[in-house]
Amino acid sequence: MKSAAWVAVGNYANILISFVIFVVLARLLSPMEFGIVAVATVFLDVLLLVARGGLPDAIVQRHDLTEEYADTAFWVSAGSGIVCCLILFGLSYPISLGFGMPELSPILKTLSIVFVLGGLTGIHEGRLQRSFGFRSLSIRGLIANLASGAIALWFAFNGYGVWSLVIQRIATSLASMVITWLSLRWVPRFHFDTKYAVEQLKFGSMVFGTTLLLTLNNRIHELIAALFLSTTDVGYLRMGWRCIDLASQFSVIPLASVALPTYSRLQHDRPKLENAYLHFIRISSTLTYPALLGMGAIAPVLLPAVFGPQWQGAAPTLQVLCLLAAPFVTNSFLWPLLVALNKTNYGLAFTIFQFVVGCAMSFVAAPFGVLYIAVSHVVRAFAVWPIALWITDKQCGISTRRTLLAVGMPLASAVLMALAILVLQRFLPADLPKVANLVISITCGSLLYFVFTALLAPDILKQTRTEIVTLIQRRRQSS
């Protein structure tokens, strides 16, 4: 929980910084420019997972980590980064030709340097996670975010358009690499053990395969949209996902970031492992459900008020994507659970199934418009949710009933809150300034959610209060 608190502090600061930077960039750039970079970053994020190859997770999961094992993992990671850099550089022109975007080729070539930087960072990051060094990782993210954001804003204000987003991504990777190396102060030796390399690649292939497909599950619809629709539509879709990502940074990521090392420590004590899993999803759902459903309720006012009138068309897409809230929480904590228990084959099979179903549904929906792509994504998520719950039950020993009980009451409170906000929107004056509308809606929604939670799940509020007090007391005792 202390590590999660550090992640939370770093994330909350990053949310504020990212939000301000994103708002300014969204006002300076067009949806079309965001759409072009969205297509480029799909290829970047996919190959970045190839470069990492699940090796940081292998470092975290390893029960007895030796220096020889870590050295080998570093050189495998560095080599993978160089190979992926060359692959994207070479494929940049065919990709741009296939999507009918000639401006995409130089962007992909420039972004390929990110793989080299990522390959030099992954193992250091894994060692920090293994030792619960989330304080250093949080500070790293904060500094990298500030530096890259400032650079991106300078380029945007000076008329560089889409290139401001490209430079921002490269600056983030470079700053993260430098700060991570300074935080760990571990210099890998020129040692390579073939046996360890094979073992790492075997374990990492499962992790990499599933993580790759998880990323594609969230991003493939953007590529499909780019094939059938305009880059503006792709920009609307990216805006919707960016808003959801901003919300998840304070409601899911802090706990999900420490889930794997926590589960790994408890992998031989199933009762404690089950309690940790239920604890994580209970707290996360208490934060995630009101954030996403509330954001969906005020999306038509939120987007034009904050990001500018050019983003009004993205509101319906965001509203649909916010309905992903229900399965989003439990699915976020399933994969770390399977990795810790060394049952990644089930996660891989499940993710392949999701990917196939998602692609098929997106291809069917794409000709009808961007809103239908968002709907297909939500339908897919709810259709496969029972399978995820079954895997959690049968393979991890955590009953579906306990899982649903942990998230049920926060979900019910959030649904009631969102419905109340929708009713409130009908009674607010049409000529009320959008900023005033947002302040009233968010304030009333927060109060109502607290009231509904107090009525439906008072034990959650009591438990949360007890944990906060306990953490503060331990902090005082340790100091």
- Using DSSP's 3-state secondary structure scheme, residue 85 falls into helix
Neighbour-count burial for 342-366, b at 16+ CB within 10 Å, e otherwise: eebebbbebbeebbebbbebbbebb
pLDDT digits (tens, 9 = 90+) for 399-446: 888 888 888 888 999 999 999 999 998 888 888 888 889 999 999 999
Q: What is d(CA 410, CA 399) in angstroms, rounded to the nearest whole number?
A: 19
Q: How far is CA 286 from CA 52, 419, 454, in A?
A: 32, 17, 12
**Structural domain boundaries enclosing 65:** 2-478
Contact 88, 43 (CB under 8 A): yes
Q: How far is CA 437 from CA 289, 302, 444, in A?
A: 21, 9, 11
Structure tokens belonging to residue 117: 């930087």
Whether residue 130 is predicted with pLDDT greater than 70 in this model: the reply is no
- Per the structure, the count of domains in the chain is 1
Q: What is d(CA 418, CA 28) in angstroms, rounded to the nearest whole number?
A: 31
DSSP 457: -
Which secondary-structure segment (H or E) carries 55? helix 55-61
Tell me what pLDDT residue 98 has.
83
- Picking from 288, 272, 280, the residue whose alpha carbon sits closest to that of residue 256 is 280
pLDDT digits (tens, 9 = 90+) for 451-479: 888 888 777 667 666 665 665 565 555 55
Tell me what pLDDT residue 343 has.
78
Higher pLDDT, 126 or 381: 381
Contacts of 435 (CB under 8 A, 6+ apart): 305
Task: Please say whether the dihedral angle defined by the alpha carbons of residues 272, 274, 280 and 285, taken in this order, is positive or negative.
Answer: negative
> What's the whole-model pTM score?
0.70
pLDDT digits (tens, 9 = 90+) for 90-121: 888 888 888 888 888 899 999 888 888 888 87
Higher pLDDT, 72 or 136: 72
